[in-house]
């Protein structure tokens, strides 16, 4: 059953902090996936088939999906008659099936995002849905950064600050303290900065 709650945590609204945050999240997905799959039989026994498969789709699917997405996008060249190194192994029909499958998955993603913005206070966000098409190439790049970070700096976690956008653009008196994690995040950050000085 879907949740009827709204998370008031501020999303990162600028590219530079997003570039730091997304690889950290994806690195966490990869580490969790690898750690959970160290003993797959035990994990299956503890979770059962349904949850086990859900974990594979959520974590493994995210990692593999973002890594393979550029290859899938490049297959659009085959039905257009352009050169592609995989064209000898993938005929034009299979290439079209892959491209149409990708287009269908993008349509599903945009439809789900449209539905997610059905609450009156979120409807204005629907104008931003076309920007999701930019999200996926950025997330694929973030996945490459995350895996290289995992290989070369496995215990390093890049930190990102929160609350900067809202601090500039929102009347803080309009945000209820108990409903907003922004205030909790900002207070926690202020406490950390004070204690480190």
For the segment 126-167, what is each residue's pLDDT rounded down to a tens digit? 999 998 888 889 999 999 999 999 999 988 888 877 666 555
Instruction: Give the pLDDT band of residue 27 (cuts 50, 70, 90).
Output: very high
Give the integer Cα–Cα distance in Å for 55 and 189. Answer: 32
Q: How many residues in total does the chain contain?
A: 197
pLDDT band with cut points at 50, 70 and 90 for residue 116 = very high
Helix 15-36 with 132-152: angle, nearest 10 deg: 60
Task: Kindly state the average pLDDT of the residues 14-33.
Answer: 89
> Does residue 42 or residue 8 have the better pLDDT?
42
Q: What angle do CA 153, 155, 158 make, to 5 degrees?
A: 80
Cβ proximity of 10 and 161 under 8 Å: no
Report the percentage of the chain scoring pLDDT > 70. Answer: 76
pLDDT at 60 over 60: yes
User: The tokens 């269908």 sit on which residue?
Assistant: 104
- Tokens for 162? 């929160």
CA 35 vs CA 39, 122, 193: distances in Å:
8, 36, 33
Q: Give SS3 for 140.
A: helix
The pTM for the full model equals 0.70
Q: What is the pLDDT of residue 174?
A: 44
């Amino acid at each position: 059953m879907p949740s009827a709650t709204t998370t008031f945590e501020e999303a990162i609204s600028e590219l530079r902090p997003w570039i730091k945050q997304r690889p950290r999240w994806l690195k966490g997905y990869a580490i969790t996936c690898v750690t959970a799959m160290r003993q797959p039989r035990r994990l299956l026994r503890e979770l059962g088939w349904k949850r086990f498969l859900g974990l594979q789709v959520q974590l493994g699917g995210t990692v593999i999906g973002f890594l393979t997405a550029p290859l899938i996008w490049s297959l659009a060249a085959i039905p257009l008659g352009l050169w592609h190194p995989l064209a000898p192994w993938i005929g034009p029909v299979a290439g079209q099936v892959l491209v149409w499958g990708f287009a269908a998955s993008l349509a599903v993603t945009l439809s789900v995002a449209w539905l997610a913005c059905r609450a009156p206070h979120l409807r204005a966000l629907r104008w931003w849905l076309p920007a999701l098409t930019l999200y996926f190439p950025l997330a694929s790049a973030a996945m490459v950064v995350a895996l290289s970070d995992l290989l070369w700096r496995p215990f390093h976690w890049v930190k990102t600050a929160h609350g900067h956008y809202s601090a500039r653009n929102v009347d803080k008196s309009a945000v209820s303290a108990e409903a907003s994690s922004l205030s909790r995040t900002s207070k926690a950050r202020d406490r950390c900065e004070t204690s480190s000085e």
